[in-house]
């Protein structure tokens, strides 16, 4: 009986320690840069600039694109594709000058469109269009994209991509696509693709953004990737941004420690970086836009 009691006590202690690891809150990272194949790791601070309630029918926000006047956010219902989580999407429109939700100026309450998982979105100022990726084709792969008018925010068409993609960025007449752990580039008409870099991030691959010769790739550590995260000393709910310098083919990592928020997407405007955070757990009903405080020399 004594041995049995000791075993039970030890098991309870171990379970308690494991539970403690999952309590959200700021903790120091011990990321081993060499393990992830990056040249340097830098802490990245954030400044909250806007937060809002998710509209009725939106379970999570997925991607952000920035036009001259607006922050455009794509949301989807809660659940998997089989549970209806990749249909009936909504766009949220936030005025950049007033920091006001002006979605009602463009859509009736609850009005939807078909954007799939809407993992990635980017704005092309040359065509004044939004491109949204993360839409499944007949084969189940996310090889479809939607073209949306950036003035009326109405769907123009759905078209096939040359590869499956869950993240997209536009810059210098080139589209960059995140396909699994590959970063690809294609021209403005989505012709042939070129592999720019292969990066085994081990974590949840989110959207990407482009600025001044670099592609910024957002990653989130969730419960499915915790096992790999432990290997490099990271905690759950940490967010990582990889900066891939295209010309120098170098990779830099930034660690963001924002407790219990999932970083979904990144975009740039007027030399500033903005990230979209999805509320989870106690904050699951809200979404957040932060300015990411990169050192100016990092993004100029």
Section 57-70 average pLDDT: 97
- pLDDT classification of 53: cutoffs 50, 70, 90: very high
**Cα distance between the two ends of the chain:** 68
- Order of strands across the sheet that contains 239-245: 41-43, 250-256, 239-245, 214-220, 204-211
Which 8-state DSSP code applies to residue 140?
A: S
The pTM of this model reads 0.83
What CATH number should be reported for the domain whose range is 32-299?
2.115.10.20
Residue 66 neighbours by CB distance under 10 Å = 21
Contact 238, 259 (CB under 8 A): no
Distance CA 236, CA 36 (A): 17
Section 211-219 average pLDDT: 92
Q: Which residues contact 7 (CB under 8 A, 6 or more apart)?
A: none
Indicate the domain borders of the chain.
Answer: 32-299
How far is CA 255 from each of CA 16, 63, 220, 234, 249, rounded to the nearest angstrom?
A: 27, 19, 10, 10, 20
pLDDT of residue 287: 97
Least confident of 195-199, 231-235, 257-261: 231-235
Tokens of 80: 């998997």
* pLDDT tens by residue, 280-290: 888 899 999 99
Greater model confidence, 23 or 206: 206
């Amino acid at each position: 009986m004594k041995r049995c009691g000791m075993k039970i006590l030890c098991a309870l202690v171990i379970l308690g320690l494991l539970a403690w690891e999952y309590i959200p809150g700021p903790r120091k990272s011990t990321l081993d840069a060499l393990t992830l194949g990056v040249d340097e790791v830098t802490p990245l601070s954030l400044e909250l600039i806007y937060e809002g309630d998710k509209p009725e029918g939106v379970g999570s926000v997925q991607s952000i694109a920035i036009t001259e006047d607006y922050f455009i956010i794509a949301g989807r219902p809660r659940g998997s594709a089989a549970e209806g989580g990749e249909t009936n999407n909504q766009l949220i429109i936030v005025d950049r000058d007033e920091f006001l939700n002006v979605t009602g100026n463009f859509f009736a309450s609850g009005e939807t469109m078909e954007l799939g998982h809407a993992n990635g979105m980017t704005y092309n100022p040359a065509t004044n269009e939004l491109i949204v990726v993360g839409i499944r084709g007949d084969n189940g792969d996310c090889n479809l994209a939607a073209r949306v008018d950036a003035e009326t925010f109405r769907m123009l068409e759905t078209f096939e991509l040359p590869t499956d993609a869950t993240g997209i960025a536009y810059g210098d007449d080139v589209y960059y696509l995140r396909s699994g752990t590959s970063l690809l580039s294609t021209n403005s008409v989505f012709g042939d693709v070129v592999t720019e870099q292969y990066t085994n991030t081990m974590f949840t691959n989110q959207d990407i953004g482009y600025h001044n010769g670099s592609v910024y790739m957002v990653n989130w550590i969730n419960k499915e990737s915790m096992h790999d995260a432990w290997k490099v000393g990271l905690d759950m709910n940490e967010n990582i941004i990889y900066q891939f310098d295209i010309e120098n083919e170098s990779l830099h990592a930034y660690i963001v420690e924002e407790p219990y928020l999932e970083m979904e997407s990144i975009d740039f405007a007027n030399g500033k970086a903005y990230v979209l955070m999805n509320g989870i757990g106690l904050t699951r009903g809200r979404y957040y836009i932060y300015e990411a405080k990169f050192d100016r020399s990092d993004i100029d």
